Structure 1
Amino acid sequence: MTPQIPHTKAERPRERLLAHGAHVLTSAELLAIILRTGIKGCDAVSLGHRLIKQFDGLRGLLSADALTLMSQEGLGAAKACEILAINELSRRALEEDLKAGMALDQPQRVKRYCAATLGHLPVEHCMALYLDNQLRLITCEEVSRGTLNQASVYPREIIKAALKHHAAAVILAHNHPSGVAEPSQSDLALTRHLKNALSLVDVRLLDHLIVAGASAVSLAERGQL
């Protein structure tokens, strides 16, 4: 039996979702379902519109930290936690697929996962994806966290982790908070150094991704690996 939902303005998005599916709703309406209530003079859908505009889109909203979210009118701790949970669940769903057997031999799959993990971070982070012989994800670990412009990556730590996880291959990824996904000369030098170091223990460096927001550059695709 289809649940009976009161025909109030605040709950119309839920009613439409149940009747027609989530795909027919606008982003603000989907967000309104999470928010449930608005604020004085602003219903949940209008609040959703306001928040999406305030954060320059859904990506900015869903990747904001707890303090930033709670600083917005209409978002207390509970609603902020719900928004944070949505982003983390989405990232974990991508990771679950990769661990379940989706081989990471196609750059677009890797880019999507790395952008979801790193694209929103305000300072530079570097992570390594450790893969088995079938190029399935074993685990993903942060290997450095730097300032806005620089991160220190130690190849010996990546090699140690690769051997610990019995990895056959590694993909390196780091973000550029500047929003420019072009590799620097230091990025290229690190890539060459890490590739040579990993080869000494029979582990392949498959790619190095530079992430900026929702976009990512693959050095393997560019022939710069």
Structure 2
Amino acid sequence: MQSAESLTDQQAERATAPFRPDLLSDIELLGKLLYPNQPPQHAARQAESLLLSFGGLRELQVASRRSADQRKGLDDRSANRIRLAHELVQRQLKQGLQRGVSLTSPAMTMEYLQTLLRDRSREIFTCLFLDTRHRVIASENLFQGSIDGACVYPRVVAERALRLSAAAVIVAHNHPSGISEPSLADQAITRRLKDALLLLEIRLLDHFVVGDGPPVSMASRGML
């Protein structure tokens, strides 16, 4: 991570160049987002202080979901701007999975689910309802629970799939603990979901578990 002082010359060179956010360092990007009306060097110093206090961008984003931490320099305005930026990313990914989009890329599905579910303080169970060509009909969060788990009712998933005329379903949930390894309870509910959907001739294509690392595909583990 570059220091705020080392950015001065680079910022001067970029002043007359086309704006390229992808070329900004984490410090510069955060500084422009949180302190747009301050001189670049001052904004960078404040951004650097935040990143050092919280440990990185991801940790800062997680902290912004809670109450602002004035002791570490995160005020309400900054926390709200971080939440807004995260919400924009979520909506962009969700639009990428809007009705009619075909899920031909597992990577696209995993990226969406990871952005949607990772770092949540409570367990959320989400469903992607697909047609016969694996095009998205709807993406919905059907159940939400505590930090220890969420109650999932296969009948509710099956009824929703039937109402949407879905031919297939992909489900996912997060582990607030950060451990993405499927539990015995996860495996049991997956079997119940698969059986309930099969009665309606609807396929359960996969069940992803989202934690700190890459989402785990239960289908790829042979758990379906």
Would you say how many aligned residue pairs link Structure 1 and Structure 2? Answer: 214
Partners of 2:37 and 2:19 in 1: CA distance = 24
Give the CA deviation at 1:204: 1.1
TM-score normalised according to structure 1 size: 0.83
Partners of 1:91 and 1:63 in 2: CA distance = 14
Give the CA deviation at 1:147: 2.2
Give the CA deviation at 1:115: 0.6
Partners of 1:50 and 1:203 in 2: CA distance = 52
Contact 2:207 2:219 in 1 (8 A): yes
One-letter identity of the residue aligned with 1:180: I
Instruction: Quickly say closer, same or farther: Cα 1:66–1:175, change in 2 above 3 A.
Output: closer
When structure 1 is superposed on structure 2, of 69-78 and 171-180 the one drifting more is 69-78
1:47-100: CA deviations, max 9, x gaps?
212222333322232344444346465444333222111101101111111226
Contact 1:13 1:25 in 2 (8 A): no
Instruction: Quickly say closer, same or farther: Cα 1:212–1:67, change in 2 above 3 A.
Output: closer
Q: What is the match of residue 5 of structure 2?
A: none
Contact 2:50 2:74 in 1 (8 A): no
Q: Does structure 1 residue 166 correspond to structure 2 residue 158?
A: no
One-letter identity of the residue aligned with 2:202: V
| Structure 1 residue runs without a partner (length 5+) | 1-8
One-letter identity of the residue aligned with 1:137: V
Instruction: Quickly say closer, same or farther: Cα 1:14–1:178, change in 2 above 3 A.
Output: farther
Per the alignment, in what secondary structure is the counterpart of residue 99 of structure 1? coil
Contact 1:131 1:170 in 2 (8 A): yes
Q: What is the match of residue 120 of structure 2?
A: 121
Partners of 1:56 and 1:73 in 2: CA distance = 11
Q: What is the match of residue 204 of structure 2?
A: 205
Per the alignment, in what secondary structure is the counterpart of residue 215 of structure 2? strand
Per the alignment, in what secondary structure is the counterpart of residue 18 of structure 2? helix
